[in-house]
A and B are shown apart, each in its own frame.
Chain A
Amino acid sequence: MDASIASLPPQPGRNLHRFANPGRFLRISGRVLPVVAVLGLGLTLTGVVWGLFFAPADWQQGDAVRIMYVHVPSAWLASFGYMSLAVCSVLSLVWRHPLADLAAAEIGPVGAAFTALCLATGSLWGKPMWGAWWVWDARLTSVLVLFFLYLGHVALVRAFDDPQRGYRAGAILALIGVVNLPIIKFSVDWWNTLHQAATIKFTGAPTMYVGMLWPLLLCALGFSFGFVAIVLARTRAAVMERRIRGLLMARAQEADAA
C-alpha cells in the first residue's frame, strides 16, 4: 500500500460504511429484530393494561385521560420518526450511505401512520374535553404540517423512475421539514394555545402524578421498540427485494449475452 495513503487520518463517516454492507445489516438486524419486537409488545401491553385498569382517573378529565397512554407516545414517535428520517437523509446526502436511502423510504409510511394516530387520538380526546374535534391551535396545526411532510416524502421517494433521484429529492424535503420539529415542541410556549404545555421536561421534574407517569413511560418505551421493530423488518425486506432485483437483472443480462 502507498505509504502516503496508509498514513491518512481516518475520515469522519468512514466507520458508517461498515454498516452499509447489506449482508452485515441483514445478519445483525436478524438477531436484533426478535428482541426489539418482543420488548415492544411486552412493554406496550404492560403499559396499556396499567393505564387502562390500574392508573387513576384525572380529577378534571375523568377517564378520558386514559387516551393519553396512546396519544402521547404516538406524538413523541411522530417527531422521533421524522428526526430519524432527517438523520438518514444526512447520511444519504453527505456519505452516500446506501442503507440510509432504503431506511428513509421505509420510515416515511410508518411515521405518517403514527402521526395520523396522534392526530386521531388527539381529536378523540378533544371532543369530550374541548367540545370540538379540531381547533386551529399552533400545536395541532404544526403536527398536521408534519403529517403532510411525511406524505410528501412518501410520494416524492416513489415519484421518479430512477430511485436514486427519488431518494435525493426525499432527503432534501426531509431536511427542510426538520424546521417544523422545534415549532411543534415549543408551539405551546411560543403561542397562547388550547393544547396544554409539556408536563414531562428534560429540565425539571414531571408535573404528573407518578401513578400516571409510569404507565405512560412504559407505553412510550413499548411504542418506540414497536416502531423500531416495524422499520427494521421493512428495511430488511427492502434490502432483500433490492438484492432479488439485482440478481434477476444479472441473470437477464447473462442470458442476453449468451
Chain B
Amino acid sequence: MTHLTYIMAAYGLAVLVGTVFSVDAWTRMNRARRRLAAIDPRASRI
C-alpha cells in the first residue's frame, strides 16, 4: 500500500477524535444520571 504512513495517521486521528468524544459524552451522561438519581429518586427512570 502506497503512502501508508499518511493513511495510518489520518485514520488514527479519526479514531482518536471519535473515541475521545464518545467516551467523554458517555461518562458525562452516566455521571449526571447517577447524581440526579441520588438527588431526585423520580429521575432514576430516565
Among B13, B14, B17, B33, the residue within 8 A (CB) of A240 is B33
Contact A62 B10 (CB under 8 A): no
Which residues of the partner chain A approach B11 to less than 8 Å between Cβ atoms?
A: 48, 52, 70
Contact A64 B6 (CB under 8 A): yes
Known: A71-B10, A237-B29. A248 touches B3 (CB 8 A): no
Contact A70 B10 (CB under 8 A): yes
Contact with A along B1-43 (1 / 0, CB 8 A): 1111011011101100110011001101101110110011001
Contact B25 A128 (CB under 8 A): no
CB-nearest residue of chain B to A26: B46
Among B3, B22, B29, the residue within 8 A (CB) of A62 is B3
Which of A89-97, A142-150, A226-234 lies at the interface with chain B?
A: A226-234
Chain B: number of interface residues, binned into ranges: 20 to 34
Contact B33 A120 (CB under 8 A): no
Count A-B pairs with CB separation below 8 Å.
94
> What's the nearest-Cβ distance from chain B to residue A86, in Å?
21
Contact A117 B17 (CB under 8 A): yes
Which residues of the partner chain B approach A62 to less than 8 Å between Cβ atoms?
A: 2-3
Contact B22 A63 (CB under 8 A): no
Known: A67-B10, A117-B13, A124-B10. A244 touches B36 (CB 8 A): yes
Q: Please tell me if A30 contacts chain B, counting CB pairs below 8 Å.
A: yes
Q: Please tell me if A135 contacts chain B, counting CB pairs below 8 Å.
A: no
Contact B3 A63 (CB under 8 A): yes
Known: A124-B9, A244-B32. A113 touches B3 (CB 8 A): no
CB-nearest residue of chain A to B8: A124
> What's the nearest-Cβ distance from chain B to residue A57, in Å?
7
> What's the nearest-Cβ distance from chain A to residue B9, in Å?
5
Contact B10 A113 (CB under 8 A): no
Which residues of the partner chain A approach B39 to less than 8 Å between Cβ atoms?
A: 244, 247-248
Contact B32 A241 (CB under 8 A): yes
Contact A113 B6 (CB under 8 A): no
Contact B22 A64 (CB under 8 A): no
3 residue pairs, one from A and one from B, having the closest CB atoms: A240-B32, A233-B25, A62-B2
Sample of 10 further A-B pairs with CB below 8 A, known A64-B6, A240-B36, A240-B43 = A74-B14, A121-B13, A121-B14, A124-B13, A229-B25, A230-B25, A240-B29, A240-B46, A247-B40, A248-B39
Q: Would you give 12 A-B contacts (Cβ < 8 Å), ordered by A?
A: A64-B6, A67-B7, A120-B10, A120-B13, A128-B3, A233-B22, A237-B32, A240-B33, A240-B35, A243-B40, A244-B35, A244-B36
